[in-house]
Amino acid sequence: MLIRNASLLDGAAIDVRLSGSRISELGRLQALAREPVIDASGSCLLPGLHDHHIHLRATSAALDSIRCGPPEVHSAEELQELLATAATRNATGWIRGMGYHPSVAGEINRDWLDRVVPTTPVRIQHRSGRLWILNSAAIDLLKQRARSLVPNSLSTIDSAEDGRFLDTDTLFADVLGHRALPIAAISRQLASYGVTGITDMNPGNGPDDLSAMFGWQRSGDLLQRVSLAGKASLSGLASKSMISISSLKVHLHDHDLPELDALSQAIREAHKLDRPVAVHCVTDLALIFTVAAFESAGTIPGDRIEHASVTPDEMFEPLRRLGLIVVTQPHFIHERGRTYLQDIPVAEHHLLYRCRSFLNAGVALAGGSDAPFGAPDPWAAMRAAVNRATSDGTIIGPDECLTPEEALALFTGRAERPDLPRNITVGELADLCLLDQPWSVVRKDLDARHVRMTIIDGKPINGFHQ
């Protein structure tokens, strides 16, 4: 396939030939006999975007879930109305909510939900992803099924009297089963943003998830290339054509940190198997702890810090020295900024989801949506990285703004080495994103509607914005 009259970021005109899954030739090229030709009409051709941190299953599950927190929902009244409406529309099935934050209606429980939705089973996930809140109808249903399927889980269910279930995803999966997920819909949505690859960062990913992803790719539901992070049990499993095994994911919780030695040991063991480690750090405490563990265990290329939501200045030097890559979510400034401004002391606002300071300090920076906890659109993240504005226009950390090119680069690093850029060069994978304008136009209007065509593994996917 030949892409003619494309332009690069710097405006240079170029024709690009794709052969199979690679870029095979660049320059001023003539079409071969029967070669399909795409005329780019001077528009910009980018390396396909890679979302360096997403939870694919949960993102597709979220497609038919109600958003229960900021930026969509801000008050108890708004949430009550949403849930009541959902209950009248959906009298028999489950109502599934997600993204709940206590700024909406406090620490809600079973009784609160019962008052709003008395008969339809409801389960709402807290924004952290770890906590579910169920109403009585949902708990009754859960117990009914548990009694026949997993009787030993009944005591756990009974102990959550207030309807608040912490870290019970496995129990829910065992009792309720995996529902059929609209993977094709979310994958096509990602393609419409120009996303050609994802890193699935679910800490629970194991061999079953590798098979599931492979199955979805084989059936054509999942279009993107996948880099699968997750449990230690993935170590040593063979990569499949469009799936590679990536880092060991470690999820730290401030109130329940492991022994420092235990974390260092886990890092050492992963490294022995050539597996980088990715540690979830949303507080300064978790970040300091994690950096100490890496100091002791040593680092290998590809080791990463997920989120680095709060980064004090003194952390830049060790992060740079250790070669740790920070995978950030600048769009949280837009999506959650209003709650940050209320909940977080003013003196710490400039420490939130920093961008420019990492680059200035020589720390490699990449971007991930963290969908479904953040919106899956990387262009929204790029906009937020450039303007740092909350949903009501307040700027958080004005010194942390990136240029449009730096924001784009958050999503064009290599899957396994987000610190290394991919470029339009011969031999690179034919994973590309064709825009509808030159970069000089799009850089002032970072928006997914400029994505005209996405090419994954040499195959064009288009027709997004008709």
Q: Which lies closer to Zn ion via its Cβ, residue 17 or residue 55? A: 55
Footprint on residues 245-274 left by Zn ion (CB under 5 A)? none
- For residue 47 the two structure tokens come to 């390396």
Count of residues near Zn ion by CB under 5 A: 1
Residue (of 263, 288, 427, 282) closest to 353 by Cα position = 282
Name the E strands within 177-293. Answer: 195-200, 225-230, 243-251, 277-281
- Contact segment (CB under 5 A) with Zn ion among 168-176, 203-211, 317-325, 363-371 equals 363-371
- Closest distance between Zn ion and the C-beta of residue 53, in Å? 6
Q: Which lies closer to Zn ion via its Cβ, residue 277 or residue 453? A: 277
DSSP state of 63: T
- Closest distance between Zn ion and the C-beta of residue 373, in Å? 6
Q: Which of 335, 370, 431, 457 binds Zn ion (CB under 5 A)?
A: 370
Q: Which lies closer to Zn ion via its Cβ, residue 328 or residue 357? A: 328
- Closest distance between Zn ion and the C-beta of residue 256, in Å? 17
- Closest distance between Zn ion and the C-beta of residue 374, in Å? 9
Distance of alpha carbon 341 from its chain centroid, rounded? 23
- Regarding 200 and contact with Zn ion (CB under 5 A), the answer is no
Residue 68: Cβ-neighbour burial (10 angstroms; 0-12, 13-18, 19+): buried
- Closest distance between Zn ion and the C-beta of residue 247, in Å? 13
Residue 193 and residue 378 in contact, taking contact as beta carbons nearer than 8 Å: yes
Continuous segment of H or E residues that includes residue 165: strand 164-166
- Contact segment (CB under 5 A) with Zn ion among 37-45, 317-325, 365-373, 438-446 equals 365-373
Q: Which lies closer to Zn ion via its Cβ, residue 209 or residue 370? A: 370
Residue (of 341, 330, 435, 440) closest to 380 by Cα position = 330
- Contact segment (CB under 5 A) with Zn ion among 34-42, 268-276, 364-372, 447-455 equals 364-372
Dihedrals phi, psi of 215, to nearest 5 degrees: -60, -45
- Contact segment (CB under 5 A) with Zn ion among 155-163, 225-233, 370-378, 379-387 equals 370-378
Q: Which lies closer to Zn ion via its Cβ, residue 52 or residue 275? A: 52
What number of CA atoms fall less than 13 Å from residue 355's CA on the CB side? 31
Q: Which lies closer to Zn ion via its Cβ, residue 370 or residue 457? A: 370
- For residue 362 the two structure tokens come to 């020589």
Q: Which lies closer to Zn ion via its Cβ, residue 113 or residue 281? A: 281
The residue of the chain with the least Cβ separation from Zn ion equals 370
**Whole-angstrom distance, CA of residue 432 vs CA of residue 163:** 46
Continuous segment of H or E residues that includes residue 81: helix 76-89
Distance of alpha carbon 241 from its chain centroid, rounded? 22
- Contact segment (CB under 5 A) with Zn ion among 19-27, 38-46, 75-83, 368-376 equals 368-376
Q: Which chain residues interact with Zn ion by CB under 5 A? A: 370
